[in-house]
Amino acid sequence: MDTPESLAQSVIANSAVNALISNRLYPNAAPKGFRYPAVVYHAYHTEQAYDMAGPINTADVYIQFDIYGSSFSSTSAVSVALQSFLNAFTGTLSNNDVVTACFLENALDMPYVPDSQPSGISFHSILQYRVVRKRS
């Protein structure tokens, strides 16, 4: 299991976030017919650290969280809860990676988009984080 998947397990284990999304945290894409609110995550860049001998066990992993909701307020509530958790998160993940910091790089509220939900509208926010991790 890599850093994004292990971090996702920690997100789901956080009661404040999971109370809002009810385990609806998906890697790469949400399943067809998913319910709101939900979060989709993916790693979009890894910056490996090096010393004079080559790669070392530290890297910055960039992870994007796409938050979808049926209203701006529900999407915003998930965004705030996720930021509160990640901004303070350090520790050992389930794959034994050690996270030393999570830095919010970008927070974007996207315009509403039509979809197949009964309301015809979904709200979308994006959080992009740089997660500093060490392999054990």
Q: For 30-88, what is each residue's pLDDT tens digit?
A: 998 899 999 999 999 988 888 888 778 899 999 999 999 988 999 999 999 999 999 99
Banded pLDDT at 118 (limits 50, 70, 90): low
Instruction: State how many domains the chain has.
Output: 1
Task: Report if pTM > 0.85.
Answer: yes
Q: What per-residue confidence (pLDDT) applies to 20? A: 98
Q: How far apart are CA 103 and CA 101, in angstroms?
A: 6
Q: How far apart are CA 82 and CA 116, in angstroms?
A: 26
CATH of the domain at 70: 3.30.2000.30
Structural domain including 11 reads: 3-134
Q: How far apart are CA 10 and CA 91, in angstroms?
A: 10
Residue 121 has pLDDT above 80, yes or no: no
